[in-house]
Structure 1
Amino acid sequence: MDSRPIRRFRPDPGRAAPTDAERARWPVSVPAVAQLLDTGLELPHGALVLVGENGSGKSTVMELLAVTLGLNPEGGTVNTRFSTRPSEPESLGLVVERSPGASRWGCFLRDETLHTLYSHLEQISSPDPSYHELSHGEAFLEVLTRRAGGGGGTYLLDEPDAALSFGGSLALVTVLLDLVASGAQVVVATHSPVVAALPGARLVEVGDWGMRPTRWEELELTVNWRQFLTDPAAYLRHLR
């Protein structure tokens, strides 16, 4: 029996494919988005990790998944609703294939809107601690841990490593492993080789080609970090 909360995101068969004019405009002009709208995206059991350069489309893909799931585009759980400055794309004709009876719990956290989420939680007198009084990394780990619904659900995390030290990234990996062990699905967009090494995760590299499966040791991210740490001067002397 397929126990995945979400089996796949797929194009709505009742909606026309993007026209040439639409493909020339953002966000469909982003190769990863165009691929998502053409062929969809299957979610594995456990974790899916998206890795790619700035501007590759990782965050736009994450926003599209969140909007399609009905999650608040600026972050939060299925029960969160607030908006400051809408900048996210519409669902663009994606639909969700769910497993019957699977948890519909969902949570979307994105680094760039965490400050607004924390302020929203204060305004509604949430029982959460005051995240503004914690460090950036501590607050992220705390809000994620508190929103772990238990027993499944889907968690979308856009660049969670931006707030975290090396030790914090390891702590995040521990939280993600706990979520997966509880039956949850996790989708993470990251620049961290630590987070990308999440045990058991399916890795997808995002770039001009769209989205393609890969292995940790083959990631451009991993290769670049390994070379830099071996000989940082070889990189830095070209910057002056």
Structure 2
Amino acid sequence: MVLPMTGQYLRAIKLLRNEIGENSRSYPFSLPIFSKFDELEFDSCVTIIVGENGAGKSTLLEAIAVAWGFNPEGGTRDMKFTTQDTHSNLYEYIRLIKGVKKPNDGYFLRAESFYNVATQADNYGVSDYYGGSLHLKSHGEAFFATLMNKFRGKGFYLLDEPEAALSPMRQMAILSRIHELVENESQFIIATHSPIIMAYPGAKILQLSDNGIEAIEYEDTEHYRITKQFINNRESILKVLME
């Protein structure tokens, strides 16, 4: 079941293949997912992007974020800083197809550069919007405080591996927070490896692989199957791994 949209801010993205030209053999266009995708629809208020390491999840999410106007390292659209300019130029070759409504809020939460965003929040004097300085919290508490305090609803939110610093209990709490925001006309696109987060009821799950990008059911994801198999057969699997 795909969740009906209450706040459809991004309807789809199109790859401007004719403009790629000689870049088609270079990164990120050399990734298998870009050889078979021309348009990608976001027709659910929660879209989950899954795939193996290196499949292009973060690259795709980053391109959407930068094309939307977010800082490549994360934060709000008002954050203008660069610690290290390492983002790809994919954003120059995609077209965002937006909905009629405009979001009142937005955020790009990126696990690998969140420390830099926390520093800028202090420098900009906006830490109060996060519930206090993020550097005075543990890494996980800082993530959790951002979702609880900074996300206000009626927003467009991009999350790149939000589970990176969160315990399983906090991940379940995040599911509840996402649901509150969805009911308040928000849209999420989330790249994750977490079977907990990707279990959000009714989310559309997009799997990135050598076969391209395809919708997949939760129970068919490798993350679910391997986690379930390991928990149910822990001793036998560990024995094989340790031999």
TM-score, normalised via structure 1 length: 0.90
Aligned to 1:8: 12
CA contact (8 A) 1:33 1:60 kept: no
Residue 92 of structure 2: SS of its match in structure 1? coil
Deviation at 1:154?
1.0
CA contact (8 A) 1:2 1:99 kept: no
| Residue deviations 1:134-157 (CA, integer Å, cap 9, x gap) | 12211101112222132x221000
1:48 aligns with 2:47: yes
Deviation at 1:74?
0.2
Which range moved further: 140-149 or 186-195?
A: 140-149
CA contact (8 A) 1:77 1:147 kept: no
Aligned to 1:156: 158
CA contact (8 A) 2:23 2:29 kept: yes
Aligned to 2:199: 197
Aligned to 1:216: 218
Identity of aligned residues (%): 33
Amino acid in structure 2 at the alignment position of 1:71: F
1:57 aligns with 2:66: no
Distance 1:73 1:4 in 2: 22
Distance 1:221 1:124 in 2: 39
Amino acid in structure 1 at the alignment position of 2:13: F
Residue 50 of structure 1: SS of its match in structure 2? strand
Distance 2:107 2:236 in 1: 41
Residue 92 of structure 1: SS of its match in structure 2? helix
Aligned to 1:171: 173
Distance 1:2 1:135 in 2: 34
Aligned to 2:122: 122
Deviation at 1:225?
0.4
* Correspondence for 1:146 among 138, 144, 149: 149
Aligned to 1:79: 78
Residue 206 of structure 1: SS of its match in structure 2? strand
Residue 229 of structure 2: SS of its match in structure 1? helix
Deviation at 1:40?
2.2
| Residue deviations 1:153-196 (CA, integer Å, cap 9, x gap) | 21000000111111011011111111111111100011110001
* Structure (1 or 2) with the greater helix fraction: 2
1:27 aligns with 2:46: no
Amino acid in structure 1 at the alignment position of 2:122: E
User: In 2 relative to 1, CA 219–101 (structure 1 residues): closer, same or farther, beyond 3 Å?
Assistant: closer
Aligned to 2:235: 233
Which consecutive residues of structure 1, in runs of 5 or more, have no partner in the other structure? none
Distance 2:7 2:224 in 1: 32
Count of aligned pairs = 234
Amino acid in structure 1 at the alignment position of 2:149: R
CA contact (8 A) 2:6 2:183 kept: no
Distance 1:145 1:116 in 2: 19
Aligned to 2:97: 97
CA contact (8 A) 1:5 1:104 kept: no
Which range moved further: 176-185 or 2-11?
A: 2-11
Deviation at 1:130?
1.4
Which consecutive residues of structure 2, in runs of 5 or more, have no partner in the other structure? none
Q: Deviation above 4 Å: which 4+ runs of structure 1?
A: none
Distance 1:2 1:107 in 2: 18
TM-score, normalised via structure 2 length: 0.89
Amino acid in structure 2 at the alignment position of 1:116: N
Residue 214 of structure 2: SS of its match in structure 1? strand
Distance 1:182 1:225 in 2: 32
